[in-house]
Amino acid sequence: MRYEDFYRMSVEQPELFWAEQARLIHWEIPPQKILDQSNPPFRRWFVGGTTNLCYNAIDQHLAKRGEQLALVAISSETGITRELSYRDLYREVNTFAAVLKSLDVAKGDRVVIYMPNIAEAVFAMLACARIGAIHSVVFGGFAAHNLALRIDDARPKLLIAADAGMRGGKVIPYKPLVDAALDEATHSPPRVLIVDRGLDVQMTRVSGRDLDYASLRVAHEDAEVPVTWLESNEPSYLLYTSGTTGKPKGIQRDVGGYAVAMAMSIRNVFDIAPGQVMFSTSDVGWAVGHSYNVYGPLIGGATSLLYEGLPTRPDPGIWWQLCERYGVRTMFSSPTGIRVLKKQDPAWLKRYDLSKLKWLFLAGEPLDEPTAHWITDGLGVPVIDNYWQTETGWPAITLMPGLDLKPVKFGSPGLPAPGYKMKVIDEGTGLEAVPGEKGVLVFEPPLPPGCLTTVWGDDERYLSSYFSHFKELVYSSLDWAIRDENGYTTILGRTDDVINVAGHRLGTREIEESVATLPAVAEAAVIGVHDELKGQVPVVFATLKQDAGVAGAGTVARAMQQRVVEQLGGVAKPSRVYVVNALPKTRSGKLLRRSLQALAEQRDPGDLSTLDDPGALEEIRRALERGPDQG
Ligand code: AMP
């Protein structure tokens, strides 16, 4: 089918279109109504239908492809590779589900998962899905405070953690961060289930609270746990993401809509049919990891590769070696991942037989043209930039080679995906921008299946964060965009105070709040500054209290960097810290982060008519000339 017809049907006759797509998954009870939009912008897909993500990801394939590889978990850090067929996965997930049940985890309970990219993380997610528990995976690169915030919001019955991850040959203990997070949180779960990889030999356990998965596993081996059928709109999982406030938002996903979106997109966007192989380099803690390391490929009966390690170890050919070994058809990574490889000898791209590799998808951050050209030429396969957000759960703007590949235009992720009624509108008037004019990227309700259904426990926040920006009731992506006359859209960056570091989304407020916990700091402004490798890096400008003491600016600046790493994790580490005497603000006291960012990137700081104290900008200019106090 042509893309144009597929897309048109999805937006003009959504019920017909999605009823057809719903046939791609197993329903225990078929939906009674395809779409209920009686309470916009909330919407319910496949009302009355009951299904289960785990059943669709595993059980439904057992008869036809029980012996086919389902999951290959490779760690270039430990040197261990685990190959699991659908039947193996079925066994492991049932055992895990039995362990969860033995710990009184039941339908609707939240389970926080804090693990690196190992097979058990996938078992844990699918085991939750099997019994109707709501998982909330927290990225292992986040530190204790970030974990504590997510625990307090989700109020889990159980936390599942690994003893440690590994990166670049170094063991990164997780358990001390778990302990610190549980000390800080007010709604700590009564139990912690630990998958001990034997990496952290000094790991301590709190008796009565911390349980060892290996011993419980033995007790529940060969268990079979019946699937809990869920109504399509019940919550399946939460995935926290950063916004403009310091408090992360729990993006809530449903069951049926998500399963259908996964089944449709794995086939038509990612061009993966049952039995084919997909390799996503994402971490399970991100949206891509959920959708295209776990649910998408498995619901689609494919083989999914999960990778723990760097793209450059043991050598910069490791990804392509894996592509050759497993016959990967579709690979999915991030622009930063490719920029890391770009620093290496391009001969690594040619060393392995990549004749089965058809597509490289890249997402999570803007794909710069030089990188897109470099990797397209190096691999000789089409590179497909695709745009999405944690909120959407699957690509919103992309090309769809599984259906019919439209021409790739460097610099643009392409055309709207099925069901996304996309517009670019003027920030002030809300009117549709003409081609070539910059505006805000919005989606008209109803959002397609798979997108967030609400913010966990906070419908008001769902409305105020996404639907309150314009007179018209539209979902604001909070991204600037520009559309050409053929409908190809280019993303120009965020409209809010969210920055994107190596494809990781961070709220500048979170970093500012963390820095400000140091007694010497009076106030901090954090901005994202362009970086060749990571796209953006966080940079801090901070003022100190009058009585900050005698410690030099360098010492305090270093302490700020350390505090962020301790509280939020290495991903958020400020790349530079400037200690200044004043921060630029409007007369109403709002920090002028965009002007700061412009100055730091040697651009025009823009309209300064609202600036309270012109001296503050001079102060920033001088600091930038002088160089950072740390970094
Ligand atoms: P996250 O929720 O972490 O996936 O971050 C979503 C944000 O990443 C979007 O709002 C965009 O700002 C950015 N983003 C994701 N994909 C792309 C892309 N292909 N091109 C440009 N920006 C992107």
pLDDT digits (tens, 9 = 90+) for 35-83: 999 999 999 999 999 999 999 999 999 999 999 999 999 999 999 999 9
Residues 508 and 475 in one domain: no
Q: Is 300 in the pocket of ligand 1 (CB under 6 A)?
A: no
**Ligand 1 atom closest to 241 (CA):** 2
Q: Is 246 part of any domain?
A: yes
- 413 Cβ inside 6 Å of ligand 1: yes
pLDDT in tens, 72-112: 999 999 999 999 999 999 999 999 999 999 999 999 999 99
The residue contributing the CA closest to ligand 1 atom 13 is 365
The rounded distance, in Å, linking the Cα atoms of 417 and 396 is 5
Residue 152 is predicted with a pLDDT of 97
Query: Is residue 488 one of the residues assigned to a domain?
Result: no
Q: Determine the pLDDT at residue 549.
A: 66
d(CA 442, CA 420): 9
Q: Is there a domain that residue 225 lies in?
A: yes
Identify the bridge partners of residue 71 per DSSP, sorted by sequence position. Answer: 84, 304
Any domain includes 348: no
Query: For residue 586, what are the domain limits?
Result: 504-626
Q: Distance (Å, rounded) from C-alpha 126 to C-alpha 89? A: 9
CA 377 to CA 379: how far, in whole Å?
A: 6
> pLDDT band at 539, cuts 50/70/90?
very high
Q: Verify whether ligand 1 is closer than 6 Å to residue 510 (CB atom).
A: no
Query: pLDDT tens across 360-407, in order?
Result: 999 999 999 999 999 999 999 999 999 999 999 999 999 999 999 999
For residue 263, CA distances in Å to 87, 114, 153, 267, 293 come to 20, 26, 30, 7, 13
Which two three-digit tokens encode residue 58? Answer: 């595993």
Q: Is 386 in the pocket of ligand 1 (CB under 6 A)?
A: yes
| Model confidence at 203: pLDDT above 70 | yes
Q: Is the CB of 494 under 6 A from ligand 1?
A: yes
Q: Using CA atoms, how far apart are residues 575 and 537, in angstroms rounded to an integer?
A: 6
**pLDDT for 550 beyond 80:** no
> Is the separation of the CB atoms in 600 and 527 below 8 Å?
yes
| Pocket lining: 372 vs ligand 1, CB cutoff 6 Å | no
598 and 460 share one domain:
no
Specify the amino acid at residue 235.
P
Q: Where are the alpha helices (DSSP H) in 33-138?
A: 53-57, 62-65, 86-102, 119-131
Going by pLDDT thresholds of 50, 70 and 90, the confidence category of residue 514 is very high
d(CA 284, CA 287): 8
> Is 199 close to ligand 1, i.e. is its CB under 6 Å away?
no
Distance of CA 20 to the CA centre of its chain: 28
In a domain, 334, yes or no: no
In the predicted model, is pLDDT for residue 340 greater than 80? yes
Instruction: Establish whether the linkage from the previous residue to 173 is cis, with ω within 30° of 0.
Output: no
Same domain, yes or no, for 293 and 415? yes
Q: Distance of alpha carbon 620 from its chain centroid, rounded?
A: 33
The answer to whether position 343 is within a domain reads: no
Confidence of residue 260 (pLDDT cuts 50, 70, 90): very high
Query: Atom 5 (ligand 1): residue with closest C-alpha?
Result: 389
Ligand 1, atom nearest to 391 Cα: 2
pLDDT single digits (tens) 460-505: 999 999 999 999 999 999 999 999 999 999 999 999 889 999 989 9
Is the CB of 389 inside a 6 Å radius of any atom of ligand 1? Answer: yes
Q: 503 C-alpha vs ligand 1 centroid, how far in Å? A: 7
What's the mean pLDDT in 336-341?
94
CA terminus-to-terminus distance, the chain? 53
257 and 124 in a common domain: yes
**230 sits in which H/E element:** strand 230-231
> Considering the chain, what percentage of its residues have pLDDT values greater than 90?
91
pLDDT 10s digits, 265-320: 999 999 999 999 999 999 999 999 999 999 999 999 999 999 999 999 999 999 99
pTM for this predicted structure: 0.94
The amino acid sitting at 193 is L
CA distance 409 to 412: 6
Of residues 186, 127, 125, 175, the one with CA closest to residue 151 = 186
Query: Is residue 303 in a domain?
Result: yes
* Whether 397 contacts 417, CB under 8 Å: yes
What CATH code is carried by the domain that includes residue 621?
3.30.300.30
Rg (C-alpha) for the chain, rounded Å, is 24
283 within ligand 1 shell (Cβ under 6 A)? no
Predicted confidence band of residue 174 (pLDDT cuts 50, 70, 90): very high
State whether 184 and 257 are in the same domain. yes
Shared domain check, 581 and 473: no
Whether residue 112 sits in one domain with residue 196 = yes
420 shares its domain with 550:
no
Please tell me the distance from the alpha carbon of residue 264 to that of residue 22, in angstroms, as a whole number. 9
Question: What average pLDDT is seen over the chain?
Answer: 96
Run of H or E including 252 = strand 249-253
Shared domain check, 161 and 48: yes
CATH of residue 266: 3.40.50.12780
Q: Is 222 exposed, middle or buried (0-12, 13-18, 19+ CB in 10 A)?
A: exposed
Of the residues 444, 462, 479, the one at which a domain ends: 479
Same-domain pairing of 591 and 451? no
- Is residue 347 in a domain? no
Quick one: 542 and 605 in the same domain?
A: yes
Q: Are residues 117 and 231 in the same domain?
A: yes
Tally the domains of the chain.
2
CB burial of residue 249 (10 Å; 0-12, 13-18, 19+): buried
The SS3 assignment for 307 reads strand
Model confidence at 615: pLDDT above 90 = no
Substitution candidate for ligand 1 out of 269, 394, 479 with most atoms within 8 A of CB: 479
- Dihedral over alpha carbons 259, 29, 112, 210 (to 10 degrees): -140
Q: Which residue's CA is the nearest one to ligand 1's atom 20?
A: 366
Ligand 1 atom with minimal separation from the 498 CA: 12
For the Cβ of 179 lying below 6 angstroms from any atom of ligand 1, the answer is: no
